[in-house]
Chains A and B, each alone.
Chain A
Amino acid sequence: MKSNSIFSFLFIISSLFVFTRCNNGGNGSSTGALGSSNAAEKVYVAPGEKDTYYAFMSGGFSGQVSVYGLPSGRLFKVIPVYSQDAEKAYGYNEETKPMLMTSFGFIPWDDSHHPKLSQTNGIHDGNFLFINGNNTPRVARIDLTTFETTEIIEIPNSGGSHASPYPTENTEYLVASTRFSVPIPQKDVPIDSYKENFKGTFTFISGGQEPGKMDIAFQILVPGYDYDLAHSGKGVSHGWTFFTSYNVEEENTLLEKRASQYDKDYIAAVNWKKAEEYIAQGKFKEMPATYYHNYYDEHTQSASSEIKKSVKVLNASECPGVVYYLPTPKSPHGVDVSPTGEFIVGSGKLSANLTVHSFEKMIAAIEAKNFDKEIDGIPVLNYEAILAGVVQQPGLGPLHTEFDGRGNAYTSFFITSEVVKWSLSTYEVLDRQPTYYSVGHLMIPGGGSKQPWNDGEYLLALNKITKDRFLPTGPELAQSAQLFDISGDKMELLLDFPTVGEPHYAQAIPASVLEERQVKTTPLEDNHHEYVARREAETKIERNGNVVHVWMTTIRSHFAPDNIEGIKVGDEVYFHVTNLEQDWDVPHGFAMMGARNSELLIMPGQTESLVWYPQTEGVFPFYCSDFCSALHQEMQGYVRVSAKNSNMKLSWSMGDEVFHE
């Protein structure tokens, strides 16, 4: 069912609380937008008009990122990140197979969770989108000029990466933590030796703004809790990153009960600038660890993998001043930092109240050594000393908070299925609106950065459950997003729309930031693929043993060559297909009968390679699978396959001219 067991658990208790909140109804009845006079007008983007925001939503267990327009909720593209995609040949063609390599081998799926845009001075710059793989710990880069995944780095010493990627103010680092603590380094120990053998890590990844340069700068070894979510500081708190934890009880079984016992868990405040000093002083341990760094080079249009063998690790207990624990009630999920960087909101998901810490008070408490105790050398700060305020009984099951530019915060409440607006100065609840149903994350364009766009005009609630909201589609129903107008005093529900997979988080950026930098075609002279054919005259076929390489081109409306003979049963045939088009939106497909991998969908000026294993004698067609032109249906060819021991020589042709090996 849903990827995160805590949500299933919370949903069950949510039914217990459903009668306790009678103020859920009000103007937000399930008729939603119909109750409003001009909601339809606010989301209507007329034919030919364009949306004002790009929204990027994680696909959860689909392993993808989907791109929508706001306010219309129209789907533009699904970007494969961790999952193979037969439509685009991502993870199937020879160029992108290395993208999915890990120390566990080829992993063609993951659970993609938190998309985060790159930042410059704490403002979304529109350069890149990053997203973590929750299952086999990874962080991926999506280039926002091509909307393609171009880099993936694996995270060693981690048992699942949830608190990621949450970049620092200038994307100096992307961060990650191990959600599940594990023996580090891994070893064969009894599971019930958890307290003794299990550890957690925080990971800092450098190179966020430099394509091809992502690297594990360092890791910090910490006590073996579950580390859940993160946010990096900004403005006054620049230089710090905050991670929530649960299971400070350090239990290894029946966590739903046993990890919910203590009144408070911790938000770990990590001073990464201090960590940098320790690294510079050489106070790290170089730990052996195997992890992959995969990079797609736009010049060669091919990805390659680099296997890394060690990582720098700091031990928090030996590095005073790097990690502090902020006591926070009841298994906090999200930790969100206000636009100024001063307020750190910890959403204790089993707490009746919402806790807000003050960064200024945190620093004062550190300087005054106002510690309650130390855990493995990590000071636990005094709760009252760092508290900025408490939002009293705002709802049940708070998960995430984002901010507008007018001093307000908006928190999602999973159990009571609502979004609550509250004041960052008075901690008073200002408004609440129901969601349909069980909102997880929420997103305000720029609401996690220093600058919510247009001071925050929209809020997108990302719902785990839809039940009766859309036409039913059998047992498996869509998850959904709900768009609210938050420009006024009261939030107004404008639109419901289903999403691809489960959206764990989203980002949005004004269309004007990205629109003009979109790549339309790749100039053929910039294509440095190993097997490019820049003109039809450069097409050819070469045999080396049973390996055959075919340099092929496409242009409206033919392949060159389109007749190939001399292929034999048992051959390994590589079709390297270059799309010679130099016009916007003229891709060509390459679909080979009996291909056990996928088709190719080749953008103008690009080359992609598909391997094909002919299994029986005969003549097999291939064709263009993208309706490219008026004579698309004629865009086809044949491969003749002869017996394994046949004397057939390779020959190829297009029209009358026949070429031979």
Chain B
Amino acid sequence: MKISKIIFLIGSLSLLLIFIAPIWSITLEAPQYPGGVTLFIWVNKISGDTPGTLQNINILNHYIGMKYIEPESIPELKYFPMVVIGMSALGLLAGFLNNEKLWIAWVVLLIILGALGIYDFYLWEYDYGHNLAEDAPIKIPGMAYQPPLFGSKMLLNFNAISYPHTGSIFIALPIIFGIIASYLKRKGK
């Protein structure tokens, strides 16, 4: 088997590793929360640094009228895993078909899907941060509570810090492997 094919197949399979680590993390820092409160966004779930984190964040958020973050009511957490598995399977198929054009198409599709995923995440953040209850106990005119996609931002007493987490490596890896494999294949290796 040629080296390019092996690399492409490994890349397609590595996409599945996205299930072992969170893709994104949002940390809220305030003096009375030593070490911060961290929310982890996975491809299939939302977790925290302690079992009670999600509840604790929801309690804090209810003062400003933010909707409860309920993983059961976020459909993406159900169909994104299927998209990941499907893409991995398509990658394997393309790998065995050994067709350079298919490989490039797969990489482009993955990039588009990844970008859509981030955009979707941004929309959720926007929705949580802007659609606040009318009867919230704390209302500050003009204030929105959307955490940044990338970087940090003060939201009242909390510094919200948002960055990609380990899991996002397993989106980057298949893309990089796919590009390398296509390049090597063009070189006839």
Interface residues of A (CB under 8 A from B): 521, 523, 555-556, 580-583, 604, 630-631, 634
Q: Is the CB of B63 within 8 A of A583?
A: no
Across-interface contacts of B52 in A (CB, < 8 A): 521, 523, 581-583, 604
Give complex CA distance A630, B138 in Å.
Answer: 10
Distance from A584 Cβ to chain B, minimum over Cβ atoms (Å): 8
Distance from A470 Cβ to chain B, minimum over Cβ atoms (Å): 33
Q: Is the CB of A523 within 8 A of B56?
A: no
Look across to chain B and name the residue whose beta carbon is closest to the beta carbon of A630: B63
In the complex, B188 has a CB within 8 A of chain A:
no
Distance from B137 Cβ to chain A, minimum over Cβ atoms (Å): 6
Across-interface contacts of A583 in B (CB, < 8 A): 52, 55-56, 59
Q: Is the CB of A523 within 8 A of B137?
A: no
Q: Of the candidates A523, A581, A634, which one forms a contact with B51 in the assembled complex, judged by CB atoms under 8 Å apart? A: A523
Look across to chain B and name the residue whose beta carbon is closest to the beta carbon of A604: B52
Tell me the chain B residues, 23-48 only, with Cβ under 8 Å from chain A: none
Distance from A484 Cβ to chain B, minimum over Cβ atoms (Å): 33
- If the complex has contacts A555-B59, A630-B63, A631-B63, are A582 and B51 also in contact, measured as CB distance less than 8 A? yes
Q: Of the candidates A521, A523, A556, A634, which one forms a contact with B59 in the assembled complex, judged by CB atoms under 8 Å apart? A: A556
Across-interface contacts of A521 in B (CB, < 8 A): 52
Across-interface contacts of A604 in B (CB, < 8 A): 52
Give complex CA distance A556, B57 in Å.
Answer: 12
Look across to chain B and name the residue whose beta carbon is closest to the beta carbon of A556: B59
Distance from B69 Cβ to chain A, minimum over Cβ atoms (Å): 15
Across-interface contacts of A630 in B (CB, < 8 A): 63, 137-138
Interface hub of A523, A556, A581, A583 (most chain B Cβ within 10 A): A583
Give complex CA distance A521, B50 in Å.
Answer: 10
Look across to chain B and name the residue whose beta carbon is closest to the beta carbon of A585: B32
Interface hub of B51, B59, B138 (most chain A Cβ within 10 A): B59
Look across to chain A and name the residue whose beta carbon is closest to the beta carbon of B60: A556
Look across to chain A and name the residue whose beta carbon is closest to the beta carbon of B32: A585
Tell me the chain B residues, 51-91 only, with Cβ under 8 Å from chain A: 51-52, 55-56, 59, 63
Give complex CA distance A583, B52 in Å.
Answer: 6
Distance from B6 Cβ to chain A, minimum over Cβ atoms (Å): 46
Give complex CA distance A630, B63 in Å.
Answer: 9
Interface residues of B (CB under 8 A from A): 50-52, 55-56, 59, 63, 137-138
Can you sample 8 A-B contacts with CB below 8 Å? A581-B52, A581-B59, A582-B50, A582-B51, A582-B55, A583-B59, A630-B137, A630-B138
Across-interface contacts of A631 in B (CB, < 8 A): 63, 137
Across-interface contacts of A580 in B (CB, < 8 A): 55
Distance from B66 Cβ to chain A, minimum over Cβ atoms (Å): 14
Known pairs A583-B59, A630-B138, A631-B63; list 12 more (Cβ under 8 Å).
Answer: A521-B52, A523-B51, A556-B59, A580-B55, A581-B59, A582-B50, A582-B51, A582-B52, A582-B55, A604-B52, A630-B137, A631-B137
Give complex CA distance A630, B62 in Å.
Answer: 12
Distance from A48 Cβ to chain B, minimum over Cβ atoms (Å): 10
Look across to chain B and name the residue whose beta carbon is closest to the beta carbon of A634: B137
Distance from B142 Cβ to chain A, minimum over Cβ atoms (Å): 20
Give complex CA distance A463, B51 in Å.
Answer: 46
Distance from B81 Cβ to chain A, minimum over Cβ atoms (Å): 25
Look across to chain B and name the residue whose beta carbon is closest to the beta carbon of A521: B52
Give complex CA distance A631, B63 in Å.
Answer: 9
Across-interface contacts of B50 in A (CB, < 8 A): 582
Distance from A580 Cβ to chain B, minimum over Cβ atoms (Å): 8
Distance from B90 Cβ to chain A, minimum over Cβ atoms (Å): 40
Distance from B38 Cβ to chain A, minimum over Cβ atoms (Å): 13
Look across to chain B and name the residue whose beta carbon is closest to the beta carbon of A525: B51
Give complex CA distance A555, B59 in Å.
Answer: 8
Look across to chain A and name the residue whose beta carbon is closest to the beta carbon of B58: A555
Distance from A633 Cβ to chain B, minimum over Cβ atoms (Å): 12
Across-interface contacts of B138 in A (CB, < 8 A): 630
Give the 10 A-B CB pairs with smallest separation, nearest first: A582-B52, A583-B56, A556-B59, A582-B55, A631-B137, A583-B52, A523-B51, A521-B52, A630-B63, A555-B59
Distance from B123 Cβ to chain A, minimum over Cβ atoms (Å): 29
Distance from A406 Cβ to chain B, minimum over Cβ atoms (Å): 38
Distance from A556 Cβ to chain B, minimum over Cβ atoms (Å): 5
Distance from A635 Cβ to chain B, minimum over Cβ atoms (Å): 12
Distance from B14 Cβ to chain A, minimum over Cβ atoms (Å): 35
Distance from A246 Cβ to chain B, minimum over Cβ atoms (Å): 52
Give complex CA distance A604, B138 in Å.
Answer: 24
Look across to chain A and name the residue whose beta carbon is closest to the beta carbon of B52: A582
Distance from B44 Cβ to chain A, minimum over Cβ atoms (Å): 22
Give complex CA distance A553, B59 in Å.
Answer: 14
Give complex CA distance A634, B62 in Å.
Answer: 15
Give complex CA distance A583, B55 in Å.
Answer: 9
Distance from B126 Cβ to chain A, minimum over Cβ atoms (Å): 25
Across-interface contacts of B63 in A (CB, < 8 A): 630-631
Distance from A627 Cβ to chain B, minimum over Cβ atoms (Å): 12
Give complex CA distance A523, B137 in Å.
Answer: 28
Across-interface contacts of A556 in B (CB, < 8 A): 59
Distance from A583 Cβ to chain B, minimum over Cβ atoms (Å): 5
Distance from A605 Cβ to chain B, minimum over Cβ atoms (Å): 8
Distance from A445 Cβ to chain B, minimum over Cβ atoms (Å): 27
Q: Is the CB of B137 within 8 A of A582?
A: no
Distance from A553 Cβ to chain B, minimum over Cβ atoms (Å): 13
Look across to chain B and name the residue whose beta carbon is closest to the beta carbon of A631: B137
Look across to chain B and name the residue whose beta carbon is closest to the beta carbon of A523: B51
Look across to chain A and name the residue whose beta carbon is closest to the beta carbon of B55: A582
Distance from B34 Cβ to chain A, minimum over Cβ atoms (Å): 9
Across-interface contacts of B59 in A (CB, < 8 A): 555-556, 581, 583
Look across to chain A and name the residue whose beta carbon is closest to the beta carbon of B50: A582
Interface hub of B52, B55, B59, B138 (most chain A Cβ within 10 A): B52
Look across to chain B and name the residue whose beta carbon is closest to the beta carbon of A524: B52
Give complex CA distance A583, B35 in Å.
Answer: 13
Give complex CA distance A583, B51 in Å.
Answer: 9
Give complex CA distance A462, B116 in Å.
Answer: 69
Give complex CA distance A523, B51 in Å.
Answer: 8
Distance from B150 Cβ to chain A, minimum over Cβ atoms (Å): 28
Give complex CA distance A604, B55 in Å.
Answer: 12
Look across to chain A and name the residue whose beta carbon is closest to the beta carbon of B51: A523
